[in-house]
Structure 1
Amino acid sequence: MTEQIVGGRPERAVAGTRPSPGGAARGSVSGGVRVRSALLRLDGTFEPPHLVVDGEVDVSTCRAFAEALTSVLDHSSGDVWVDVERLDFIDVGGLRALAAAACRLEAHERRLVLRSVAPHLAKLMDLVGWSQISSLLMLARDERRPTSPRVPSPFRSASRARPVA
């Protein structure tokens, strides 16, 4: 069953509608956006402009991510905050979506603020030069604060596994 968010309540998808590519259920929540898939969960509000990213942004989820981000940009005013604390992975397509969003906001004297950026993400944005976009502000993750436990991804490399003693 595909779940679609209608008026803030999960309901069965309406007959004749199709789920988005990658199996993500998308919907419009009054005053925001919501996306659910096996790899990515997005919750966004228009006022205040805020998007919470939880999971992985890759080739299968990038379109949904970019559309949710664009929706928040288009329906809001002021700086747009994107919480990436629970972002496990982002590919270059996702990074491009963030850079493009920041550039769009710059034309309107607004900023894209990335909250709780992991050190490796900040370094990657710096390596490709996108950290120099004047309308992009990255706030570092507080590495001292513990995050809630997560279920490990079944797609992680076996070489990272600890040997059993």
Structure 2
Amino acid sequence: MSLNIDSSFNKDEKKWVFKPEGDLDIYTSSQFKEEVIQRLDEKETDIIVDGEKLEYVDSTGLGALISILRTMKESEKKIYIDNVKPNIRKIFDITNLDKMFIFRGEE
């Protein structure tokens, strides 16, 4: 029920990097979405969501990611997802959302 978000701009990749820590769920998804949109208003780029410290994602969290992706598609920007735990990756696979996002570090 809590989420900390570390956001930074990666100058080498020219992308925003978001490192959510905790749960991306009904209680925290709007906070995450607001943080991402605020950063994109500063500088419109592709983004990386580093899920190394992400413990749980529910349907509301997925909805927030989809909403962010729709906003970004207007400017042809992409969301890259990195370092997610197998249980979170499985949610993307089951819902076929694995085709909407780019998973880094996978073949």
Q: TM-score, normalised by structure 2?
A: 0.79
Choose from 1, 4, 7 the match for 1:44: 7
Q: Are residues 73 and 104 of structure 1, via their aligned partners in 2, closer, same or farther at CA, if it must alter by over 3 Å? A: same
Choose from 73, 79, 101 the match for 2:46: 79
Q: Are residues 103 and 111 of structure 1, via their aligned partners in 2, closer, same or farther at CA, if it must alter by over 3 Å? A: same
Partner Cα separation in structure 2 for residue 87 and residue 140 of structure 1: 17
Partner Cα separation in structure 2 for residue 69 and residue 77 of structure 1: 10
Deviation (angstroms), 1:96: 0.9
Deviation (angstroms), 1:46: 4.9
Deviation (angstroms), 1:45: 2.7
2:72 paired with 1:105: yes
Alignment match, 1:139 = 104
Q: Secondary structure at the match of 2:64?
A: helix
Partner Cα separation in structure 1 for residue 3 and residue 26 of structure 2: 12
Partner Cα separation in structure 1 for residue 58 and residue 105 of structure 2: 19
Q: CA RMSD in A?
A: 2.1
**Range 86-95 or range 103-112, more displaced:** 103-112
Alignment match, 1:70 = 37
Deviation (angstroms), 1:109: 1.6
Deviation (angstroms), 1:89: 0.9
Relative to its length, the structure with more helix (as a share) is: 2
Are the equivalent residues in 2 in contact too, given 1:46–1:76 (CA < 8 A)?
Answer: no
The amino acid across from 1:138 in the alignment is F
The amino acid across from 2:103 in the alignment is M
Higher relative contact order (CA 8 A, sep 6+): 2
Structure 2 runs not aligned, ≥5 long: none
The structure having more radius of gyration, on CA atoms, is 1
Spell out structure 1 runs of 4+ moving beyond 3 A: none
Q: Are residues 50 and 43 of structure 1, via their aligned partners in 2, closer, same or farther at CA, if it must alter by over 3 Å? A: same
Q: Are residues 131 and 103 of structure 1, via their aligned partners in 2, closer, same or farther at CA, if it must alter by over 3 Å? A: farther
Q: TM-score, normalised by structure 1?
A: 0.54
Are the equivalent residues in 1 in contact too, given 2:30–2:64 (CA < 8 A)?
Answer: no
Are the equivalent residues in 1 in contact too, given 2:56–2:88 (CA < 8 A)?
Answer: no
Structure 1 runs not aligned, ≥5 long: 1-37, 142-165
Alignment match, 1:21 = none
